[in-house]
Amino acid sequence: MILIILSIFIHTSVLFGYEMDFVDEVFGEDEVNFDHLNHEESDWTFDSENFDIDPPEKLFMNRSIIDWKKVNHQSFLSFQFWLRERLNRDRFPNWKEIFQNTKYNELVGVALGCYGECNLYRGERSISASFRSRLREGDEVQTGDDSYFLMLTANGTLVRVSPNSSLVFSEINFTKENHFVYFKLNYGHVYWEPRVHGKYEFISLSETETIFYPYEIKEANLSYVMVKEHQKLKEKDPFQAEFYQYIGYEKHIQTINDQRLENNEFSAKRDDIIYVVAPNSSVLSINSIGHFFYSLAQQSNIRIEKSLNNFQRDDKREQRNLLYLRGYNNDIEAKLELGQTYVVDKKGRNFETKNENPFQILQTLLSRNYSTQLLREILIREKWSFLFEEDYSGAKLSQMFGYRLWNQLYPTEMYYRFEFLKEYTRRVETTFLKQLASFNFKSDREFGVKHYGKSLDLYLKSIKKRNGFKRQVIKYFDDLDYYIWSLKQRGQKFYDFYTP
């Protein structure tokens, strides 16, 4: 105990002596006397109401703004450090708001599923992505061989990452007129699908890409709808229930269309803007579905799809898609036509069009993912309900959902933010390409079967086995049986289900 008290005394004496040296340096070695100062004057009174005011719109900053893990005790207890910080803060009355906006990484979205190896990196840490994994600004996902990752962004866009790919979720911003999402594609393939307004046509065909099924939210799965519809039909007509082939299909699609119609009432007024940056080119996609494939030190393939198969598009929003190339002084932007494939050379200086569609098989696989579509509507309503409101305030957006509302203080700040990103990414990636040329990479030149082969294989196997006894028996499940079955399917990494 004596040693502890002595240690504290010595440490305090050293600190006090250090601070007094600093005071002497500032005020002189003579005794400082403040008696002649009039503390009642306005310059000396303390205005508590206007001192370090908390910003009116907090981005979930309930915790301390001090990063206690990185605190240096010498500087933290230093009078000199405190005085310097105090002077800087007094120069900027809104310093807390500035600090909050720079330190807070907004939630870009959540993971819907992973097949195979999906590593989620946040700084130096990494985890294996799974359903509902949170992805914040700056996070990166990497997929291995035969591995697929699917996520939902906060603006309702589905993002699918193919095998052997790396994607960084750089930024997400909201205004009252549009939603902006910025991705950095390091290599590989990414597919994005914003919420396009319209409805699905009923077609008596099984779902296509089932690699992420069944989802943990059982109401989203076609297989669960089939179970419930079979139970209802069996009570009315047991004989018909045994031979009705497409039970639950029409109910499932109708549920999706009803959810979309309800959710689209106000969201139809806002644009969904996707900005994808790769080393040799960038794409700005507004209200459009697209593919982007880039291979290190090789060319890239880009395609903007016209629409989804079996889908009646009823979207009055403007579709606009632009391509940006590389070069320090190259500010040319090219318009991308719907349904056209574009090839950008590895230096990012030129591009050409071609008639072949390298993404055709993959796009067919993604054409009837009804369970994914219903899951999207359910999660958006659960997590980001402000998307479906006619108007939302900056305070509500920040305090309830954790997002900053852009264009609130300055009507053009989002415009200038994008202009900065466009110029910054072009210059940075141009420099990166120059350095990349000195390395010898062995990578795929074209988008091919290795980027969708496993998903296609599992889909074809599900078609082959869809009339087997193990798939038929799902119709007779109760809720507990279905729950156990879904856990087993996810645990086996073979996401197949009954499709008559």
pTM of the model: 0.79
More confident residue, 136 or 209: 136
Instruction: Compute the distance between CA of residue 86 and CA of residue 88 in angstroms, rounded to an integer.
Output: 5
Amino acid at 496: D
CB 173 within 8 A of CB 414: yes
CA 73 to chain CA centroid, nearest Å:
37
Q: Which of 488, 490, 499, 489 is nearest to 459 (CA)?
A: 499
Instruction: Give the pLDDT of residue 334.
Output: 94
- At a CB cut-off of 8 Å and minimum separation 6, what does 225 contact? 219, 248, 251, 252, 255
Whole-angstrom distance, CA of residue 286 vs CA of residue 273: 5
The per-residue pLDDT for 108 is: 94
pLDDT in tens, 61-113: 555 667 777 788 788 788 888 888 888 777 777 677 666 666 678 899 999 99
Question: What is the distance between the alpha carbons of residues 31 and 34, in angstroms, rounded to a whole number?
Answer: 10
Name residue 135's beta-bridge partners.
Answer: 109
Tell which residue, 413, 416, 197, 412, has the closest CA to residue 319: 197
**Which uninterrupted H or E stretch holds 116?**
none
- What does the block give as tokens for 10? 């010595």
Q: Among 190, 154, 208, 224, which residue's Cα sits nearest to residue 379?
A: 154
Query: What does the pLDDT read at residue 169?
Result: 95
pLDDT at 50: 59
Q: What percent of the chain has pLDDT over 90?
A: 36
- Domains in the chain, please, with CATH? 2-26+51-102 (no CATH), 109-200+261-450 (2.60.120.1440)
Element (H, E) at 256: helix 249-267
Neighbours of 447 (CB within 10 A): 23
Query: Average of pLDDT values for 345-357?
Result: 92
Between 401 and 466, the higher pLDDT residue: 401
Of the two residues 135 and 50, the one the predictor is more confident about is 135
Q: How confident is the model at residue 123, as a pLDDT?
A: 82
Q: How far is residue 345's CA from residue 300's CA, in Å, rounded to a whole number? A: 7
Tell me the pLDDT tens digit for each residue of 284-313. Answer: 999 999 999 999 888 999 999 988 888 888
